[in-house]
Each structure stands twice: as C-alpha cells, then as structure tokens.
Amino acid sequence: MGLMNYNIAIIYTSVTGNTKDLAEHLCSCFEENGQFPILYDISKFPFSEIERFHVVIIATYTWGNGDIPASMQPLYDAFEQQNTKSIITGVAGTGDSFYPSFCGAVDAFRDMLYVKSTLAATLKIELAPQESDIPRCRLFAKSILKRLEKELFQKQLES
C-alpha cells in the first residue's frame, strides 16, 4: 500500500539562489516517492493556514553570525505560537563552511522544531547543491515520509 497524497509544504528563502536550488531538489525527491509538495517562497506562505499541512519542510540559508535570515523569522514565530506539535517537519539549509557557525540557521530551527513540532530530519549543504548531494537529499525526503507513515500508523492504533 502506497502513501496517499499529503499536504506537504516546502518553504524557502534565498538571496543568491543556492537555497532555492536546494528546495527544488528536495521537491523532486518527494516526487520520486509519489508526493507533490507545494513550493513556497517564504513571502508567499499563508502562515494562518500552517496547521493544514501534514509536513512542513524549511529551507534556509544562514546570515550574520550563524543567524536565521529576517525573512524566516515569521515562520519561526508561527511554530512557536501555533498548535504545530503534530506537523512533521524537516529543516534543510545551505551555508558556507568558511563561517564558524556552518548552517547555524538549521541548528536554530532544529532546536525549536524539536520542541514545537515532530522533527524528522535535518540537512546541511555547502553552498549550491551538487550532484554528490543528491543521495543526501533523497535520504532526507525518505526519512520525512517514513516518519509520516509511522505517525499515521500510531494514530490508527490509538483510534
């Protein structure tokens, strides 16, 4: 039995294109598994509807000194303030290992999502995703979908 179609959002922010590239790669990896996420630039995401998504994937670059970009702060706040514990989440980022806090925004989201959502996977990519990163992107998508199946099975047992 395959998975049904679930509401999956991939939300990204990107200045020079690396993270947009990553978000698109991740989208393809879900499609390989028969799922069709909606890709949102953060400026277009409907925050008030966050609870209707089964899965939310966050794709972010890192700014300043390991910081979350300002454009991503409303999403961080939405998870902190809304009823999101049952949403399966994943956080992926691009960064530059030249900086002391490589992909620090991924770590910051991870720590919050671990508490406020059902965090299933994280991924850090050096600058633009390369051919050699594709297996890691695939594994990321598979981990998310496995966790989704597990949570749904658990819910069935409880009902």
Site residues (CB under 6 A) for ligand FMN? 14-20, 61-66, 94-96, 99, 101-104, 127
Q: Closer CB to ligand FMN, residue 14 or residue 117?
A: 14
Q: Closer CB to ligand FMN, residue 6 or residue 99?
A: 99
Report the nearest approach of ligand FMN to the CB of residue 141 (Å): 19
Determine the distance from the C-alpha atom of residue 147 to the mean position of all C-alpha atoms in its chain, rounded to a whole number. 13
Report the nearest approach of ligand FMN to the CB of residue 90 (Å): 17
Q: Closer CB to ligand FMN, residue 88 or residue 137?
A: 137
Exposed/middle/buried for residue 142 (C-beta within 10 Å: 0-12, 13-18, 19+): middle
Q: Closer CB to ligand FMN, residue 37 or residue 129?
A: 129
Which stretches of the chain are DSSP H helices? 18-31, 73-81, 104-116, 134-158
Got the DSSP string for 35-80?
Answer: --PEEEEGGG--GGGGGG-SEEEEEE--BTTTBPPGGGHHHHHHHH
Bridge partners of 12? 41, 59
| Closest residue to ligand FMN: CB criterion | 95
